[in-house]
Amino acid sequence: MPPRRSAPVTTGEPELFTHYHVIAVESPIGRIHIESDGELITRVSFDPIRMRRAKPPKVLVEAKKQMEAFLKRRRKHFDLPLQRPGTPFQKLVWDHLDEIRWGDSRTYQEIADRIGGKAIARTVGSACASNPLPIIVPCHRVIGSNGLLTGYVGGIWRKKWLLIHEGVLSKDLFDEA
């Protein structure tokens, strides 16, 4: 999670802080909050984020537009400037998530195998759980090796909805299981 504020400047000047802006998008899976520092998208959350009463920066207006198009199946990927604070391993996993196209999925083990080295499915799962940009960086497209839906920051029901929305899962087949 990005820091809420930068450290105060100690030059005798008034304290300067990085201000974060938030915009909310209404969706079938609840309100989606998108946060920006004014230049980059810093976080996506299903939980409320304290909003600043100010005109949203252009990057947030564009993020809302792209998210709404995604929810209407008019956009299959996002083209936004993103801030991705994380460990080198987390960033490597998130880069692999970006490669999973709309309508497709991967297992945690498949991603671990692509990364190679000491990566194992569990560490990939941990990196997915730390993704600060769910939906935009599509960690919902990662499933268990047995085909089961496993953890998701927004809850399994949201993951299920997103995968049905993208055509990865059939609503009829999934409801019968």
C-alpha distances (whole Å) from 62 to each of 20, 23, 59 are: 16, 10, 5
Which runs of E-coded beta strand occur in the chain? 21-25, 32-36, 41-45, 106-107, 142-143
Q: Among the options 137, 139, 142, 168, which is catalytic?
A: 139
The distance of Cα 62 from the centroid of its chain, to the nearest Å, equals: 16
Q: Can 128 be counted among the known catalytic residues?
A: no
The residues assigned a catalytic role are 139
